[in-house]
Structure 1
Amino acid sequence: MRIKPLLTASVLALTLGACAPAMTASAPETAPVVATADAAPAELAALVEQVDIPFEKFTLDNGLDVIVHTDRKAPIVAVAVWYNVGSKDEPKGKSGFAHLFEHLMFNGSENAPQDYFQYLQEMGATDYNGTTNFDRTNYFQTVPRPALERALWLESDRMGYLLGAVTQQKLDNQRGVVQNEKRQGDNQPGGLVFYEIVNTLFPAPHPYDHTPIGSMADLDSASMDDVRDWFRDKYGPNNATVVLAGDISPAEARPLVEKYFGPIARGPVNNPAEAAVPELAEDVRTVMRDQVAAVSIDKYWTAPGITDRELTALTVGARILGGLSSSRLDNALVRDEQLAVSVSAGNYAWQRVGILNVAATARPGVDEAEVERRLDALIAEFIAEGPTEDEVRRAATSSVASTIRGLEQVGGFGGKAVTLASGEVLAGDPGFYAREFEILATLTPGEVQAAMQRWMTRPSMTLILEPGERGDAYEEAASVAETDAKGEEGAAEELTVTKDRPAPPIDSIAQLDFPDVQHTALANGMTLHYAQRDAIPATYVTLSFDAGSSADPADKRGLESLALGLFEEGTTSMSSREIAETSERLGANISLGGGADRSSFTLSALSANLVPSLELLSDIVRNPAFAQSEIDRVRAQRITSVEQELRTPASIAQRTAAPLIYGADSPYAGPENGTVESLSAITRADITGFKDRWIRPDNGEIFVVSDRPLNEIVTSLEAVLGDWEAPAMAKGAKSFGPAPAAPAESRIVLVNRPNSPQSYIYGGQLTAIDPRGETYVDFLNANNALGGNFLARLNMNLRETKGWSYGVRGAPLTNENAVAYTVRAPVQADRTGDALAELIRETGEFLDTRGVTDEELTRIVTAEIGELPGQFETSGAILGAMQSNALYGRPDDYYEIIADHYREQTTASLDAAARAAIDTDRFVWVVVGDAAVVEPQLEQLGLAVERIEMTGTD
């Protein structure tokens, strides 16, 4: 389960669904797209009118609120259950308990005693999880329509019939899991910052005076009595809201909800803790140190919660100041004065309170005092002058456009079900989103200025995060729960199930209807792959080029990444600031990337603004200026980013492992983002040469998913790209030599990262798998038994049985010309050796004597077939699938016919695929951790251990 919030921005990661909810829309009737050079952006008011989530609400006799939204685009239904309780409601000494209880809710109920992820996979669920924040706890899944009744049975069983299945062993195990979740977050650079922010801005006894993850000591003290009391007091139906969004009507929903939730008795009324917005008595200044690459300066002010009318004005003001690509801080500190490598600003609001944050990360070598002085001056100037009308419109338009881009999703972390549930639980109105957008459509610069003046002139907290060692001892658990096995004592605690609540059958299978893909070509020869989806008024366009990081010269690693980052930093006719402002006015989003094998430019556009959005994309791709000043600026940002990767456990492990797995000379050995040395050596001639060799019409193809018909798309694309011709320079060519010989035996490479509460284990091996071959799908499902999902053996062992990790995954890294198999396991430091021994034992036994079982095969195949409709709910997912099919030479209907392949799989076919691909005696294991703690453990495993010191630290 994922806890919200944790850490963002330069040092603060506060993830909130309430500030910018994802909503649905009804596709408007609009005029055809006409390719004209002077096409103007659609009016903001017209865009806002497109945002609509019709719903019906009713309340059961036991107090359960039910909200239903109908969306028939796919045979799926999102089920969201929100409880009106969060960490702000925890009593003193019980911090972290709301989140700990969320974990226990996945460990089985009286009539569904197994891990809930097992039942979810049996249903073919997608987008399933649970989260806890200050204000609420939620559980959600998107299921095929035939599995809806099963999902309602499952959710109602843990709402009404949980305690008989909770044991001391389960409590101890999940306590260990949560403590490792805490270690995993704390182990990141800047991972201790959020605690300091909360303690300073919301001092005890304020309800928001502690983070949702809690303290180690309080987690240690949680008892079975706490569990029982929390469930009885907080989890009654009258403290919950159920939202169903998707292929369901209110008339269909009501009898089902009555059947499964109606018999559950009311519980006590939970009155969420009231909380005033505190004000600091005076400015506070705090200096912290951690393994960061550059100094960051963050300013924090307390702010009102989500129901305050000034919320929208504060959010827009923060975006103008530091959230937009064209923000004032970006223009001044990053582009013009080049004092900072990054800036940010945001308004993070919860139910009762919020935090305004403005931040800048100093460019290495620049006096941080000067950065802070300019940051303060720019904030003061913005408060005194206020924004312009154009800034407000651009911020509002980009916000609405972002919302519309998320309109297709019914569930998940930010879909329609979340929007309706958060409005009901936190604001008392499922349609709360509409109030916010009405304000957004008419917001004036004066309202924004007044809100900023009111809240940002109060005393603030300044937090400076500097490179260096952490000053305070890390708070570790008072004791480590021993949960090595589920013994007879734990089994004896299981209570007899007396409720007769059999699981309803799933009597049919929802079928995926992948849209038809059409193919044509532009006048310049570029192939166009097109699919129509009319759920929302948006168009997605990807220009994909056969390049990627595998096109980098061996001595110029990071060239492709650096070059792509420069395309948006100015064209021959537009500055980077003008590009950013234009995209914001259009509500367009252009992202650049693609991975190891392809370099791509992806446009997400409102169809009403398609032509000018395509004109902007064309200018960026065809006419980059590559000004030397921009190269130097972006290079400095990239080097700082690389320096940060060299301090982050997962990145350290990946950078260390890749050349050991693929061979140092392989194009896949990376690192994709380069090194400090390689980035420093790249010249403007290298960058222009990359463009001329690789980003050209005879080396690319176009993928489009749109609500507009193909003829309109072709007309628009021809207008902006049809005359694009390849340069005279020869097209680029990649060099893949023979695969390196497999190592004779496994070995361990230990990267010393002192004072790490967790170790990061990264194991890997190059396989002989062909991603185009028939056995590739067999290998994927074999891995689903070993390491590919929550129920896979590696995760269930180290997380659910041992309690040593927050999560373990094994997965193939599939590239066009090589497939590696990797295992990734962040584990508590004092169990590193034991955890690695378990990974080796579990994988070895899976390959030798304990292959895929009949039960695993049934569960995996059922899940893979059932998940197909939910996997391709959005246009973005369709766009990605089309590109994968093209990359690996698959037919257009690949994802429709793959279900037949799943049905033909056997335990023998999966075992054969796994055994042909991997060999645990030939793995390289990279361990990133505190060598003083970890090395003695690793030396007991009988493998060669090579120790290297972490680079890039002070």
Structure 2
Amino acid sequence: MGKLSRVIVATSCVLSALLIGCERTREAEVDSHPKAALSADKEAAASSKTAARGNAAYVKPPEIDIPFHKEVLKNGLTVIVHEDRKSPIVAINIWYKVGSKDETRGKTGFAHLFEHLMFNGSENYPGEYFEPFQRSGATNMNGTTSNDRTNYFETVPVGALDMALWMESDRMGHFKGAISQDKLDEQRGVVKNEKRQGENAPYGTAFDVIATSTFPSDHPYSWTTIGSMEDLDQASLEDVKQWFSDYYQPANAILVIAGDISVKEAMEKAREYFGDIPSTSVPARIENWELPTQVNKRKVMTDQVPQTRIYKVWNVPAIGSKDEDALDLMTSLLANRKNSLLYRRLVRDEQVATSVSAYYYGRQLAGQLIVMVDVKPGQSVEKVEKLLDAELAEFASTGVDGEELRRIKQSEFASLVKGLEKVGGFGGKTDILARSEFYYGDPGALIAGLENYAKVSASDVQNAAQKWLKPESFTLIIKPEDSYAVTGSDVDRSKLPAVDKTVTLELPEQQTFTLDNGLEVVLAERHDTPVVLMNLQYRSGASADGDQPGLASVVARMLSEGAGNLDSLAFSARQEELGASIGAGSGLDFNSLSLSALKSQLQPSLELFRDVITSPVFPEEDLTRVKSNWLDSIAQEEAQPQGLAMRKLPPLLFGENHPYGAPLTGSGTPEAIKSITRDDLVQFHQTWLRPDNAQLTVVGDVTRKELEPLLNSTLGGWVAPKSEIPELDLPVVERPEEARIFLLDRPGAQQSYIMAGLVLPPWQPDGAEAFEAMASAIAGKFTSRVNMNLREDKHWSYGARAVAMDTEAQRPYIVFAPVQTDKTAPAMRELLKEYRAYLGDNPITDGELKDYQDDEVLKQSARFQTKGQLLSSISWQREKGMSAEYIAKYPERVSALDKEQVEASAREYLSPDQFTWVVVGDLSKIQDEIEALGLGPVEVLPSEN
């Protein structure tokens, strides 16, 4: 929501949360667009209208308390402590008050580059910063940089807290001497590949253009956080060391400690580890630089994109302004929801766009409103832009509906309550406290500000619209190219503190019972917040698509288009009114329905959930629109190297007609999507969604005594048909005798996207832990051999990973590696070298196995922190047919692993000389070298135009 959910995830994420390393997240994003000037009479009439409805928009904010202790140490370090005893973990989050806004022209990208350097070890712990954490059960470990600040965070078991504080304080107080020319060159290469990866994606240069076009050249927001290639090349060792001296000092930092620790103990540790680190004078900083006038210009450019995108940008006040909440709520009224104005008009009614989004991008010096519209192929850009302008003009002149504004607030407050279970990580309590202190000077400001957020009236929003959404704006239009194709002195710094490896978990009992209609239910009570989560999973998924790849996914998508007597918009409005969220998902083997509900609204939320299960509407007109937009999204996938590879690899691994041969994106094929009718949806729904083919998992603030009668009264009328559940045929496929290489041409690509696949046997409980240990060490985590080679040693890639998908039948094992173009063939050679060595004379080492065991066992401390985590684990356990003890005894099984088991697992599963490779890139630059590798037959796949 407004302030709280807008914890900006900035440009850089050092540790991967994705398969291939954390991809660069867009920094600014998009909000709304203006209206034509109104006459004085119309403005007065509109104001009267909204004023009359203003009270209807008020929602009583939830009673939330995040108690904290704030103290400033003698060296200027601000320390904030929050006690949360529900899990034996502690989260640490350090915000340094330095971002790209503190750079100057010619030296851009320093803040982001330095964030990378900070993960290369310190004076007293040389080497990879992640290593001690990745054998200590750390989770949510990362670093990010934005225009305004840089932060570093991790969540660790209680027993690893001293280690974590020692490490964080060592790089705050003992880092300058660890910065070497080699490390600078290494991370400069990594950052440049991150930049290539971002710019190689469709629309990847949009925010560079927006930054330079909407701010004057001397404004600190006129360049993006990642900086320019030229400036990165020119960064000297002295420049970087001076950056550390200027900005990385206690007086310029906020340390937040939250979790299973008392205030007294946390403050003692903060003083012990950070208290004697000296501070000098922090460079003066600009406090505010809002622009007095709007930029009124437009720019049209082309890129390798499948459809035209319109960006509209306005310069508005910074964070902390009186208009902040109104601007934020305005974006939800305009876009980002099915009931929002622009979605209704452009996507649903006129069907001239496939998506719209809008948001207020608030920052310290200035803010922006940005709106993005993806124009449906075949539609006139001029027509869409004219419609967009007209709708925004109408929005400002007609006024804001107070009831709709009230529903938005109710939904946002419900999301806030549901999200407060996490102590660390993106959006956790440490983020809320640090963000609040950083932007408002008070750790409690965001929570205290909920009452003001709740009071924002329809008139407030309309006044903000009239004030800021002027016809003058910056417009950027990106069109497809014609040729488009696919430390303290008392702390011992001589050694790292030992990690206490004692892990004590108190998991709630799993209570099982069967409803009157035969539906099996498992309940795990968790009463920390007044929220109940449910997951109903049923056997089907893509494996039940038959000759219509994508059918299961379309069914899941259409379940939100209305149920019972509610059409799509009324259904969406009812969820907002209840503060509930109903979602549907589709995988290879299962589809699922989820419910997140407030305890106080559980019964009406369950009634809505029942209607989705038993009586979805599947309206013809919505299916037509969904299918049309679906086809456009497939085109978007094919415009992205990763999406294109994920579409092409499965049929090469399993065969065109195998259920697992459909695109890994789950979107199906254009031919199949075009063929889907409403009858197909109804038939799929009736065939597979039945109580004897489903299981319901419930976690939350409810007892069996309360829940069982509620479920029987709402779901009791849902009964299984007399017909048998169909059998699914998942034929066994053989690996190829030798490697095969398939190439896809993407002329002008700045990077090549390498993907290699291998078919593995189905998952089995016996040997599962040995497989995971084996897979982790070679390519499953940041410090794996593959990532260290291509990212840290060679700097050819921003990140390389491998995953084994969790399927019922044979599993696809997939290696991902985006690399700079001129290193495509060498990177393939390095990947093979690592895998062959792992199977040969360099198997997993004792140290690698021990690190994996320690990390996995200690991670259990954080594995069940939230209701969602617990729900996911129990759902998986039931999907695999395992008992509750299987989860509880996991640490014992991991601890018992030995090298021989892991080596045997590698020999059983890995065979790099049978990889099926898919490489997307500029074939004029990479094909000859790939063929010269002599790995196997090379085939160029036809381009998708």
Show the counterpart of 2:699: 705
Matching of residue 542 in structure 1 with residue 531 in structure 2: no
Matching of residue 246 in structure 1 with residue 259 in structure 2: yes
Show the counterpart of 2:85: 72
Q: Measure the CA separation in 2 of the matches of 1:121 and 1:184.
A: 26
Aligned partner of 1:442 among 445, 450, 455:
455
- Per-residue displacement from partner, 1:527-585 (whole Å, max 9, x unpaired)? 011111112111111111111111101x2101111111111112341110101111111
Is this contact kept in 2: 1:693–1:730, CA < 8 A?
no
- Per-residue displacement from partner, 1:352-378 (whole Å, max 9, x unpaired)? 222212232222222222221111111
Is this contact kept in 1: 2:30–2:311, CA < 8 A?
no
Matching of residue 867 in structure 1 with residue 859 in structure 2: yes
Show the counterpart of 2:554: 562
Show the counterpart of 1:516: 509
Aligned partner of 2:729 among 722, 725, 735:
735
Q: Measure the CA separation in 2 of the matches of 1:404 and 1:690.
A: 35
Question: For residues 275 and 946 of structure 1, do their structure 2 counterparts lie closer, same or farther at Cα, with a shift above 3 Å needed?
Answer: farther
Aligned partner of 2:683 among 673, 676, 689:
689
Question: For residues 365 and 507 of structure 1, do their structure 2 counterparts lie closer, same or farther at Cα, with a shift above 3 Å needed?
Answer: closer
Show the counterpart of 2:636: 644
Q: Measure the CA separation in 1 of the matches of 2:83 and 2:464.
A: 37
Question: For residues 13 and 237 of structure 1, do their structure 2 counterparts lie closer, same or farther at Cα, with a shift above 3 Å needed?
Answer: closer
Question: For residues 46 and 250 of structure 1, do their structure 2 counterparts lie closer, same or farther at Cα, with a shift above 3 Å needed?
Answer: farther
Aligned partner of 1:227 among 222, 228, 240:
240
Query: Displacement of 1:822 after TM fit?
Result: 1.4
Show the counterpart of 2:523: 530
Matching of residue 504 in structure 1 with residue 497 in structure 2: yes
Mean CA deviation greater in 206-215 or 282-291: 282-291
Q: Measure the CA separation in 1 of the matches of 2:939 and 2:230.
A: 34
Is this contact kept in 2: 1:409–1:874, CA < 8 A?
yes
Name the SS for the 1:824 alignment partner.
Answer: strand
Show the counterpart of 1:26: none
Q: Measure the CA separation in 2 of the matches of 1:529 and 1:517.
A: 6
Q: Measure the CA separation in 1 of the matches of 2:146 and 2:717.
A: 53
Show the counterpart of 2:118: 105
Show the counterpart of 2:300: 287
Equivalence map 1:745-824=2 (5 Å): 745-768=738-761, 770-824=762-816
Show the counterpart of 1:479: none
Matching of residue 155 in structure 1 with residue 176 in structure 2: no
Matching of residue 376 in structure 1 with residue 389 in structure 2: yes
- Per-residue displacement from partner, 1:94-141 (whole Å, max 9, x unpaired)? 111100000000100011112111021132110000000000000000
Is this contact kept in 1: 2:124–2:494, CA < 8 A?
yes
Is this contact kept in 2: 1:799–1:805, CA < 8 A?
yes
Is this contact kept in 2: 1:646–1:951, CA < 8 A?
no
Matching of residue 877 in structure 1 with residue 877 in structure 2: no
Mean CA deviation greater in 172-181 or 321-330: 321-330
- Per-residue displacement from partner, 1:247-300 (whole Å, max 9, x unpaired)? 112111111111110110112213333342225555212212223222222211
What amino acid does structure 1 have at the position aligned with 2:750?
Answer: P
Name the SS for the 2:134 alignment partner.
Answer: helix
Question: For residues 500 and 144 of structure 1, do their structure 2 counterparts lie closer, same or farther at Cα, with a shift above 3 Å needed?
Answer: closer
Q: Measure the CA separation in 2 of the matches of 1:670 and 1:279.
A: 53
Q: Measure the CA separation in 1 of the matches of 2:790 and 2:414.
A: 42
Query: Displacement of 1:237 after TM fit?
Result: 0.5
Is this contact kept in 2: 1:201–1:278, CA < 8 A?
no
Show the counterpart of 1:208: 221
Show the counterpart of 1:897: 889
Q: Measure the CA separation in 2 of the matches of 1:950 and 1:55.
A: 60
Query: Displacement of 1:731 after TM fit?
Result: 2.9
Q: Measure the CA separation in 1 of the matches of 2:690 and 2:87.
A: 37
Mean CA deviation greater in 44-53 or 305-314: 44-53
Question: For residues 47 and 815 of structure 1, do their structure 2 counterparts lie closer, same or farther at Cα, with a shift above 3 Å needed?
Answer: farther
Equivalence map 1:86-101=2 (5 Å): 86-101=99-114
Equivalence map 1:171-570=2 (5 Å): 171-279=184-292, 283-457=296-470, 459-468=472-481, 500-553=493-546, 555-570=547-562
Name the SS for the 1:893 alignment partner.
Answer: helix
Name the SS for the 2:894 alignment partner.
Answer: helix
What amino acid does structure 1 have at the position aligned with 2:866?
Answer: T
Equivalence map 1:921-936=2 (5 Å): 921-936=913-928
Is this contact kept in 2: 1:351–1:427, CA < 8 A?
no
Name the SS for the 1:507 alignment partner.
Answer: coil
Is this contact kept in 2: 1:821–1:918, CA < 8 A?
no
Gaps of 5+ in 1: 20-42, 472-497
Query: Displacement of 1:939 after TM fit?
Result: 1.8
Is this contact kept in 2: 1:66–1:241, CA < 8 A?
yes
Query: Displacement of 1:637 after TM fit?
Result: 1.0
What amino acid does structure 1 have at the position aligned with 2:845?
Answer: T
Question: For residues 323 and 405 of structure 1, do their structure 2 counterparts lie closer, same or farther at Cα, with a shift above 3 Å needed?
Answer: same
Cα RMSD for the two superposed structures:
2.1
Mean CA deviation greater in 238-247 or 113-122: 113-122
What amino acid does structure 1 have at the position aligned with 2:887?
Answer: Y
Name the SS for the 1:402 alignment partner.
Answer: helix
Q: Measure the CA separation in 2 of the matches of 1:271 and 1:18.
A: 31
Aligned partner of 2:131 among 115, 118, 137:
118
Name the SS for the 2:360 alignment partner.
Answer: strand
Is this contact kept in 1: 2:62–2:413, CA < 8 A?
no
Query: Displacement of 1:696 after TM fit?
Result: 1.8
Name the SS for the 2:201 alignment partner.
Answer: coil
Matching of residue 678 in structure 1 with residue 672 in structure 2: yes
Show the counterpart of 1:61: 74
Query: Displacement of 1:304 after TM fit?
Result: 1.5
Q: Measure the CA separation in 2 of the matches of 1:6 and 1:280.
A: 31
Q: Measure the CA separation in 2 of the matches of 1:16 and 1:424.
A: 22
Show the counterpart of 1:477: none
Name the SS for the 2:80 alignment partner.
Answer: strand
Question: For residues 3 and 627 of structure 1, do their structure 2 counterparts lie closer, same or farther at Cα, with a shift above 3 Å needed?
Answer: closer
Name the SS for the 1:787 alignment partner.
Answer: helix
- Per-residue displacement from partner, 1:460-480 (whole Å, max 9, x unpaired)? 111222222699xxxxxxxxx
Name the SS for the 1:417 alignment partner.
Answer: helix
Q: Measure the CA separation in 1 of the matches of 2:765 and 2:87.
A: 30
Question: For residues 143 and 950 of structure 1, do their structure 2 counterparts lie closer, same or farther at Cα, with a shift above 3 Å needed?
Answer: farther
User: Normalized against structure 1, the TM-score is what?
Assistant: 0.91
Question: For residues 238 and 244 of structure 1, do their structure 2 counterparts lie closer, same or farther at Cα, with a shift above 3 Å needed?
Answer: same
Show the counterpart of 1:620: 612
What amino acid does structure 1 have at the position aligned with 2:635?
Answer: E
Question: For residues 500 and 155 of structure 1, do their structure 2 counterparts lie closer, same or farther at Cα, with a shift above 3 Å needed?
Answer: closer
Query: Displacement of 1:16 after TM fit?
Result: 7.8
User: Normalized against structure 2, the TM-score is what?
Assistant: 0.92
Query: Displacement of 1:706 after TM fit?
Result: 1.0
Q: Measure the CA separation in 1 of the matches of 2:352 and 2:734.
A: 48
- Per-residue displacement from partner, 1:183-207 (whole Å, max 9, x unpaired)? 1111111101110111111121001
Give the total of aligned pairs.
896
Query: Displacement of 1:834 after TM fit?
Result: 0.5
Show the counterpart of 1:29: none
Identity score, percent: 41
Gaps of 5+ in 2: 1-7, 14-23, 32-55, 485-490
Query: Displacement of 1:6 after TM fit?
Result: 8.2
Is this contact kept in 2: 1:87–1:96, CA < 8 A?
yes
What amino acid does structure 2 have at the position aligned with 1:736?
Answer: L
Q: Measure the CA separation in 2 of the matches of 1:861 and 1:626.
A: 48
What amino acid does structure 1 have at the position aligned with 2:505?
Answer: L
Name the SS for the 2:566 alignment partner.
Answer: coil
Is this contact kept in 2: 1:816–1:887, CA < 8 A?
no
Name the SS for the 2:815 alignment partner.
Answer: strand
Q: Measure the CA separation in 2 of the matches of 1:836 and 1:241.
A: 43
